[in-house]
């Protein structure tokens, strides 16, 4: 055949004749099928067919004349010219010889895959999906196409879609000549994902560029809902380095709302007037909304396929997948190079910080790691594009490729629907824009013309604040930073920020605050989950039931959420140490958790009351501590993160150290087994005075300077009245720190310090370095200044020593 190539005949080198999509499909079909990766069979109508179509109808001169009249400064006549070009193509006659070859190729394909199958007819431009010219969905795809007549109609519509408004503008913006870009068409067996699920995956985290994970996202039904951002998807993260070595490589399961399901239309006829006639978008049942679209075995099959595709192409990939509800098989239906992170300068790190938070109007998935402020503009349809002025913030339900010409004007994008793999998210990354997707009520919570601040710099959750909020930003070239001999570690409590912070120069995490995860990711008192049936407040019980509906045994909600949140941080810094401090809430803070009041004592002074190690073996909390240990056991043993070390806070006596150590051993966390290190927070004067005795039960210490200062001076650290007394430079405090370091070194255990003082005060860093501290841990915003102070102190000490 002159105009047809079967997928089995296509390789990536055929890109000039079949375009990026078809070249990739043919390459995978031919090279990866034998490795177990299933790619639906099909064929390509080559670019030669497109040129024949234009020549047969003498269209090229007329199209050129129309496009020459396009105003490429304002694009104010883009809609009119685009519509005229498309009408020329749709009114043209399909060449008989091209039609005959397509029909013959389809009959051959039906013999290979079955006569009752329907097909996807996909556009594949010869300048689409190249590493230097990738854009989301420039041309059209038609799904559930049945019969020869409909295939020809769909092909003609594909030719017309080479001149959609968005495609015309994209070519102008990227310097492609309109009449030098051809269109190939892929006719591919439809996977019956309408009876199952479909989605996308990336071979890295697409937001941060963190390379050690595969992100899999999906929803029920056909994949257009996912690509177009019509639904908030389920998301799964798979940790690459330990795949095949551990029993649990899926380190995160995030349930999306999946409000819509796209299906084949039962009323589709043989005469398709509009592509929408072939599909319907229905409300997803509540039962399916609460179910994950994939099980762990299926997630791993997809992740393995992603790794093989990445290895084959030697670059990170953006991949579409579909599950067939009839044979339960998983298929790869598209793959293209990921371009956003490839083009990013990973040596430049900019940190943003809100100075003072305001009223939150709405929140969703935050993308872009930046903060912007401006005027909100609510648009319901791309046809309203003239309302959006350069630098304004676009607020809408969701975006699809028809929005592409508009999005470049937006300083930020906010959508009601969509997840991290939606169209809005993909385009925002490519444009370098800030986005908040899946906000739910953005179009009602935000007023048109209102001044707002959009913050995507506070982790996975992005916030829209009322008015213009002040923020700080600093850019650093981290490639020029030399690490000091003293270990520099991070203090973290928010898993969603871990991937971003892993790019900072560091030696691991010196303090991961478990209570931050409990309050933010879980929000429920562990004893209220362990003894759910004993909760007396009906309202509280109903709220817990709603949050934990996927877990018949409620305590498993706590264990799994805590395990996965910890695993995110452990994965981000693997194989560096991540020291996890077991929960250190005070009783009043525990009481504020959902269901907490029933299980907490009332204390006059919680700061020095029922907290830390004293809780762990006490009947009021022992069962909850067992749940904490169960989560850590999953992280270390099932997920394989033996870089996770555990730390005990507020351990008052040697007897408490013995009790907690024995208790943890009984819960399956034995010091020394499977390289488990136990550390202790050194924050009570008794810890410093008896450091050598405590060292018999622990592998190291971490000085908690705030509590140590408070308890040494008898001054409440939160009291503004005592702020002059509360000083890290107090001689008594410094003497205890000096003593602690000396005793730890004598006992042969590590000792570090967590706190701001070494970054705020160069002299404090100098003091710690001079005493021989093993490590210093900083909050991310203080890390770079801390490294500077430590390095200066080490150079100063070296000069003194050499003199």
Residues with a catalytic annotation lie at: 423, 754
Element (H, E) at 588: helix 587-591
Instruction: For residue 282, count other CB atoms closer than 10 A to its CB.
Output: 11
CA distance 21 to 25: 6
Pairing of strands 183-189, 42-45: antiparallel
Q: What is the DSSP string of 118-171?
A: -EEEEEEETTSSBTTB--TT-S-EEEEE-SHHHHHHHHHHHHHHTT-HHHHHHH
Closest by CA position to 120, among listed 138, 139, 143: 143
Cα dist from 698 to 354, 691, 708, whole Å: 39, 10, 19
- Asked, as a colleague might, if the bond just before 575 is cis with ω within 30 of 0, I would say yes
Looking at the DSSP bridge assignments, the partners of residue 579 are: 645
The SS3 of residue 520 is helix
124 alpha-carbon distance from chain centroid: 28
Q: Which helix (H) or strand (E) holds 184?
A: strand 183-189
**Contacts for 471 with CB less than 8 Å, ≥ 6 apart:** 352, 353, 354, 355, 371, 453, 455, 457
CA distance 254 to 172: 39
Other C-beta atoms closer than 10 Å to the C-beta of 328 total 10
* Longest alpha-carbon distance in the chain: 94
CB 683 within 8 A of CB 701: no
Q: Give Cα separations from 761 to 269, 351, 509, 755, 785 (angstroms).
A: 75, 21, 21, 11, 10
19: its two tokens:
């375009």
Pairing mode, if any, of strands 700-704 and 4-6?
unpaired
Polymer length in residues for the chain? 803
Strands 317-323 and 197-202: antiparallel
Q: Is 539 exposed, middle or buried (0-12, 13-18, 19+ CB in 10 A)?
A: exposed
Sign of the torsion angle spanned by Cα atoms 70, 72, 73, 74 = positive
């Amino acid at each position: 055949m002159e105009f047809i190539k079967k997928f089995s005949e296509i390789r990536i080198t055929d890109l000039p004749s079949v375009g990026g999509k078809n070249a990739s499909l043919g390459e995978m079909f031919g090279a990866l099928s034998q490795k177990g990766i299933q790619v639906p069979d099909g064929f390509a109508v080559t670019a030669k067919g497109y040129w024949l179509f234009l020549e047969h109808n003498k269209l090229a001169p007329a199209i050129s004349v129309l496009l020459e009249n396009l105003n490429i400064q304002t694009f104010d006549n883009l809609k009119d010219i685009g519509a005229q070009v498309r009408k020329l193509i749709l009114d043209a006659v399909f060449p008989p010889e091209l039609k005959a070859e397509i029909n013959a190729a389809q009959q051959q394909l039906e013999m290979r895959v079955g006569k009752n199958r329907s097909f996807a007819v996909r556009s594949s431009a010869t300048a689409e999906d190249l590493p230097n010219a990738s854009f989301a969905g420039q041309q059209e795809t038609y799904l559930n196409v049945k019969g020869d007549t409909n295939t020809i109609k769909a092909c003609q519509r594909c030719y017309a879609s080479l001149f959609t408004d968005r495609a015309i503008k994209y070519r102008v913006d990227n310097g492609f000549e309109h009449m030098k870009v051809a269109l190939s068409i892929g006719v591919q067996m439809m996977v019956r994902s309408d009876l199952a699920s479909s989605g996308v995956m990336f071979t890295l985290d697409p937001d941060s560029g963190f390379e050690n994970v595969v992100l899999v996202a999906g929803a029920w039904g056909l994949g257009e809902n996912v690509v177009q951002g019509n639904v908030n998807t389920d998301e799964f993260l798979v940790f690459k380095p330990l795949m095949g070595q551990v029993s649990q490589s899926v380190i995160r399961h995030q349930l999306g709302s999946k409000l819509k399901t796209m299906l084949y239309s039962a009323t589709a006829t043989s005469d398709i007037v509009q592509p929408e006639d072939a599909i319907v978008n229905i409300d997803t049942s509540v039962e399916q909304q609460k179910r994950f679209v994939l099980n762990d075995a299926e997630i791993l099959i997809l992740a393995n396929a992603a790794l093989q595709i990445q290895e084959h192409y030697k670059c990170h990939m953006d991949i579409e997948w579909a599950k067939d509800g009839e044979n339960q098989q998983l298929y790869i239906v598209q793959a293209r190079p990921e371009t956003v992170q490839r083009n990013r300068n990973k040596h430049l790190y900019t940190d943003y910080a809100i100075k003072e938070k305001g009223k939150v109007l709405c929140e969703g998935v935050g993308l872009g790691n930046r903060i912007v402020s401006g005027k909100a503009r609510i648009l319901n349809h791309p046809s309203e594009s003239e309302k959006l002025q350069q630098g304004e913030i676009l607020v809408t339900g969701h975006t699809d490729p028809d929005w592409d010409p508009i999005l470049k004007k937006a300083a930020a994008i906010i959508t009601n629907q969509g997840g991290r793999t939606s169209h809005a998210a993909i385009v925002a990354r490519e444009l370098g824009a800030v986005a908040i997707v899946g906000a739910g009520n953005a179009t009602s919570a935000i007023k048109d013309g209102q001044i707002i601040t959009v913050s995507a710099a506070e982790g996975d959750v992005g916030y829209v604040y009322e008015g213009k909020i002040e923020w700080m930003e600093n850019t650093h070239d981290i490639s020029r930073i030399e690490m000091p001999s003293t270990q520099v570690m991070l203090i973290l409590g928010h898993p969603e920020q871990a991937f971003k912070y892993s790019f900072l120069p560091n030696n691991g995490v010196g303090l991961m605050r478990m209570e931050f995860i409990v309050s933010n990711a879980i929000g429920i008192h562990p004893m209220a989950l362990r003894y759910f049936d004993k909760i007396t407040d009906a309202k509280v019980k109903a709220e817990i039931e709603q949050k934990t509906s996927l877990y018949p045994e409620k305590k498993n909600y706590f264990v799994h959420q805590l395990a996965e949140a910890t695993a995110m941080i452990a994965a981000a810094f693997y194989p560096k140490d991540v020291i996890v401090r077991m929960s250190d809430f005070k009783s009043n803070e525990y009481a504020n958790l959902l269901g907490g009041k029933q299980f907490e004592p009332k204390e006059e002074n919680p700061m020095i009351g029922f907290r830390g190690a004293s809780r762990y073996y006490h009947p009021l909390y022992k069962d909850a501590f067992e749940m904490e240990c169960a989560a850590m056991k999953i992280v270390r043993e099932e997920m394989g993160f033996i870089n996770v070390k555990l730390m005990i806070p507020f351990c008052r006596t040697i007897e408490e150290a013995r009790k907690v150590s024995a208790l943890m051993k009984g819960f399956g966390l034995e010091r020394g087994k499977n390289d488990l290190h136990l550390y202790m927070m050194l924050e009570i004067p008794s810890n410093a005075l008896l450091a050598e005795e405590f060292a018999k039960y622990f592998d190291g210490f971490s000085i908690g300077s705030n509590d140590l200062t408070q308890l040494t001076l008898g001054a409440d650290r939160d009291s503004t009245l005592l702020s002059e007394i509360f000083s890290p430079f107090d001689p008594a405090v410094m003497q205890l720190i000096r003593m602690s370091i000396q005793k730890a070194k004598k006992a042969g255990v590590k000792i570090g310090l967590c706190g701001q003082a070494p970054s705020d005060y160069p002299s404090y860093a100098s003091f710690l370095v001079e005493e021989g501290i093993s490590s210093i841990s900083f909050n991310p915003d203080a890390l770079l200044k801390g490294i500077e102070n430590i390095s200066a102190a080490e150079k100063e000490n070296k000069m003194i020593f050499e003199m």
